[in-house]
Amino acid sequence: MPPVKIGVLISGHGSNLQALIDQITTGKINGQITVVISDRKDAYGLIRAETHQLNAVFVDRKSCSTETEFNRKILAVLTNNEVQLIVLAGYLRILSGEVVHAYHNRIINIHPALIPSFCGQGYYGKKVHQAVLDYGVKLTGATVHFVDEGTDTGPIISQRAVAVERDDTVESLQNKVLNLEHQLLPEAVMLYCAGKLKIDGRKVWRIEDEKSVN
């Protein structure tokens, strides 16, 4: 079947974007990135996109009078580039209900914790790892999920855990979790593009074996 047209939204360095590019290049993901969108002009992920001859677009929130207008600009870019699947790869803004509705069950996000812990409003970037250390949990990890109109509340596709060690810092924990993200996000996108994910309420299954994704 033809490759799935993917739009990747970023806000920063774009290492998860790079992980996707690598897997698409090797043919493991039956997808094509038609546009990379950033809400930050200086995001290094835009340079990554341009290096790989991908369409890189900066959408300036400051040029929009409202969040609604900003999200409609993003939606227009996605539509103009015929995007079929949105991947949030370190995108730090909340998509509007209008965008989520337009791409119902076609938006995948990666979160640097084991949802439903350390997620929701205010939990992003290093703040997540600081909260993990402050609470004293013994395990953290990464979660890939579909996006709904809540914040980190959509059906979970996959999760993987890593131990929190006594001498871990925010930076060391961030690096450990990021390594998991680079594995989980491409795997989830690969399954989606292969038509192997089924959503049943809050549960997501692999169609090939009807076993819960883990």
Residue 182 a catalytic site member: no
Question: Which tokens is 37 given?
Answer: 């969108």
Quickly count: other Cβ atoms within 10 Å of residue 27's Cβ: 8
- Residue spans of beta strands (DSSP E) within 122-201: 139-146, 156-163, 197-200
Amino acid at 184: L
Report the 3 state secondary structure along 1-57: CCCEEEEEEECCCCHHHHHHHHHHHCCCCCEEEEEEEECCCCCHHHHHHHHCCCCEE
Which of the following is catalytic: 52, 111, 129, 182?
111
* 108 φ/ψ angles, rounded to the nearest 5 degrees: -115, 135
In 3D space, the residue among 178, 112, 188, 103 whose CA is nearest the CA of residue 147 turns out to be 103
Q: How far is CA 153 from CA 29, 74, 119, 125, in A?
A: 26, 22, 9, 17
The catalytic site residues sit at 111
